Structure 1
């Protein structure tokens, strides 16, 4: 079973990967980060934490029993993918991947993020 850091490094092999982090949405703290190019993943993860919290509040207020699986933020040059953990071992965590919009493959990134979450060891 790969470590969290090994899994993060593996995700950076995705074509167009810019940066990756595992983030605790309760505190906004990152557990691990990896960058392929200069990018402030710590700041981006903190902002993504606010997006996750807002989405969770909205669902709560709507009274739904739905859970957030993922959130996609599409920018002119990047894709920001937030994937929530469903594993009880990683309650409160989400994976955050930034892809170059022209080079990245969103479907493959989603697949690899889910597979990595199932195989990682903290």
Structure 2
């Protein structure tokens, strides 16, 4: 099973990948990042997207939905942002955050590849 660094490098091989982070949902801290640049700070994005996941989980609780979130998609004019909570035993409370260039990415394939990366991730 790949460790975190290998999983992040694998995620950066997804067509259109701008950056990826493994994030602790309770603190908003990025445990690991790959990609990004000075104009795209992945640690800031990780912390902010923690609030997105928390809000969705609160909403699901209020609605009595007892399902797991597969992923959350945010579509911008030029980017896709995928947030994928980890469901494996070792990944509870963590999520993968992947930013993609919309012109270069295949969204369906990116979701499939991120799921594969999550399945193989051992933390």
2:45, 2:122 → 1: CA distance?
24
Within-5 A mapping of 1:84-95: 84-95=85-96
Which residue matches 2:76?
A: 75
RMSD between superposed Cα atoms in Å: 1.2
2:36, 2:59 → 1: CA distance?
33
Go from structure 1 to structure 2 and tell me whether the alpha carbon gap of 1:31 and 1:109 turns closer, same or farther (over 3 Å shift): same
TM-score, scaled relative to structure 1 = 0.94
Which residue matches 1:48?
A: 49
CA contact (8 A) 1:17 1:36 kept: no
Which residue matches 1:117?
A: 118
Unaligned segments of structure 1, at least 5 residues: none
Q: For this pair of structures, how many residues does the alignment match?
A: 122
Unaligned segments of structure 2, at least 5 residues: none
How far the C-alpha of 1:89 sits from its partner, in A, is: 1.1
TM-score, scaled relative to structure 2 = 0.93
Which residue matches 1:66?
A: 67
1:67, 1:90 → 2: CA distance?
13
Which residue matches 1:23?
A: 23
The alignment partner of 1:65 has SS state of coil
**CA deviation map 1:33-53 (0-9, x unaligned):** 001544201111111100000
